[in-house]
């Protein structure tokens, strides 16, 4: 079975949403989860997937640091790669 199967991407999505269900991009993804997972699957198979730009922000607690956060779709792919 390929790492890039629909089932594996779906499982990665479930992992990813675990602590992000109240975040805006997670909610947007979830409203069309099946279609978005299918498009991710097709882009991975076609080798046309490219990560989006990260969002940069500054966190001050517990110390000052710069954070680069991936969008939710890219986080699903991160979870997929870490799982397998």
Report the distance separating Cα 75 and Cα 71, nearest Å: 6
Instruction: Label residue 1 by pLDDT band (50, 70, 90).
Output: low
Domain parsing of the chain, residue ranges: 6-83
Mean pLDDT of 67-76: 94
Q: Which residues pair with 55 in a beta bridge?
A: 69
C-alpha gyration radius of the chain:
14
pTM of the model: 0.85
């Amino acid at each position: 079975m390929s790492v890039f199967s629909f089932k594996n991407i779906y499982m990665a999505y479930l992992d990813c949403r675990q602590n992000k269900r109240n975040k805006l991009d997670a909610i947007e993804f979830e409203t069309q989860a099946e279609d978005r997972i299918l498009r991710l699957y097709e882009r991975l198979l076609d080798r046309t997937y490219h990560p989006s730009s990260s969002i940069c922000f500054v966190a001050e607690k517990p110390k000052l640091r710069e954070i680069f956060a991936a969008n939710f779709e890219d986080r699903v792919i991160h979870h997929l790669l870490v799982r397998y």
